[in-house]
Amino acid sequence: MTDLTRRTLLSTPLSLLARPSGIEIGPSVPAGNIIVERIEGNDVYIRQDLRDTEGDWFWWCFEVRGAQERTLRFHFTGSDVIGTRGPALSKGPTSFWRWLGRSAVDGKCFTYSFSLADSAVQFAFAMPYTEIELQQFLKDHSGVRRQVLCQTRKGRKVERLMFGSQSPDALKVLLTARHHACESMASYVLDGLMEAAMKDPWLKQNVQFAVIPFVDKDGVEDGDQGKNRRPRDHNRDYDGDSVHPSVATLRQWVPAWSAGKLAFALDLHCPWIRGQHNEDIYFPGGEDQRNWAEIVAFSKILEEVNEGRLPYSASNNLPFGTAWNNSSNYSQGMSFARWATALPGTRAAGTIEIPYANCGAVDVTPESAHGFGHYLALALWRYLRG
């Protein structure tokens, strides 16, 4: 697991914003996103770049160079975008991501004291997961067939990962993530799910998996919010004429591939920054009651088998009509889960929300998220066999 949490910061050329203070701060790292408004002594005034986001959202990620032996105070000038465990922190290509902690936070500010060795330090709202981490995962798991779903408008390849049975009678399972580019912690869960599923003899023999790890590949690499993207959110692009190439291609490819044998489709997300329903793992329900009954059955199995660090209780699920999960949430277009539910032969299709930093009282890290993915695979094994 160690390589999965490692960042190669030197893989992207730096075009950082140089300041008279000698400090360099900028977003030119994978998933980078920041606007530096000004630097006054040891006080740095910044805000997240919302680019084509409708309204407000909270993803940011940047690197600091040239601040050795200084203590800097970073002030967010807009909304409160520091998460429940403070910023995520990494100190370079041989370092690992960790939470800085709330003790470093004061309102919309956080403070960090740079050591003499801290020549390049990266901070982020949460632990990033980009193609760097995916490449490492694929290097460590040779059983995955890497294909190309399509190309993005910026020329990047959208990965389609295939593994498991190649029998024409195999059940089909479709896994997707990063419809919203910023929801990085879900990708660590997906890694764990894939790793465990690839090792299980029954799943290997009876199930063919298709995985789209980055539905919004450009957004992931560029550090976009992704949520409420203009002109259309990737996860509201499944009706009418799809705006995004990855969604349009998925809508064409999946029905032919699944051929009426889609046993399970799961879209992995992260919720809002903090608060009720956002610091627990949960499944939001859809209008289709038959499908929701299947998701509830699966979630009860997951609760039973889960012995990992991240707690899960089926009582945290959010049925349709509860809190934000209502018909007004669908006004902007059809989601992946609703679309997959309606495909002929689909047994179950749903969304799971993975908190960014707090899961109950437990911290979410790449390691704990990866471990939870193992239990998702175990629950899937039991569900499909039953």
Question: Each residue of 158-190: pLDDT tens digit?
Answer: 999 999 999 999 999 999 999 999 999 999 999
Nearest to 353 by CA among 183, 196, 134: 183
pLDDT, position 10? 32
- Say whether both 298 and 193 belong to one domain: yes
Residue 1 is assigned to a structural domain of this protein: no
Residue 13, pLDDT > 50, answer no
Q: What is the pLDDT of residue 358?
A: 97
Q: Would you place residue 93 in the very low, low, confident or very high pLDDT band (cuts 50, 70, 90)?
A: low
Residue 125 has pLDDT above 70, yes or no: yes
Kindly indicate the confidence band of residue 15, based on its pLDDT and cuts at 50, 70 and 90: very low
Q: pLDDT value at position 326?
A: 85
Residue 100 phi/psi, 5-degree rounding, is -70, -30
Which of 93, 124, 155 is the C-terminal boundary of a domain? 124
Give the separation between CA 180 and CA 141, rounded to whole angstroms.
25
Question: For tokens 């790292």, what's the residue?
Answer: 29
What average pLDDT does this structure show over 260-266?
98
Average pLDDT of the chain?
93
Distance CA 283, CA 271 (A): 11
Give the percent of the chain with pLDDT over 70: 94
User: In the numeric block, which tokens belong to residue 182?
Assistant: 């910023």
Query: What is the band of 301 on the pLDDT scale with cuts at 50, 70, 90?
Result: very high
Among 76, 101, 124, the domain-final residue is 124
* CA separation for the pair 325, 284 (Å, rounded): 7
Residue 4 in domain: no
Q: 3-state DSSP call for residue 365?
A: coil
Residue 47 confidence (pLDDT) above 60: yes
Instruction: Identify residue 63 by its one-letter amino acid code.
Output: E
| Residues composing the chain | 386
pLDDT of residue 372 exceeding 60? yes
Angstrom distance (rounded) from CA 72 to CA 114? 8
Are 97 and 198 in the same domain? no
Buried-state track 109-145, b at ≥16 Cβ within 10 A, e below 16: ebebebeeebebbbbbbbbbbbbbbbebbbeeeeebe
Last-in-domain residue among 90, 124, 158: 124
Residues 204 and 87 in one domain: no
Number of folded domains that form the chain: 2
**Are 298 and 355 members of one domain?**
yes
Instruction: Say yes or no: 177 and 63 in one domain.
Output: no
Residues 234 and 237: their CA atoms lie apart, in Å, by: 5
- Segment 50-55 shows an average pLDDT of 97
pTM of the prediction? 0.94
Same structural domain, 75 and 155: no
When mean pLDDT is compared across 19-23, 136-140, 352-356, the lowest value belongs to 19-23
Domain span including residue 315: 131-385
Q: Is residue 358 part of a domain?
A: yes
Q: 6 in a domain, yes or no?
A: no
Judgement on whether residues 214 and 83 belong to the same structural domain of the protein: no
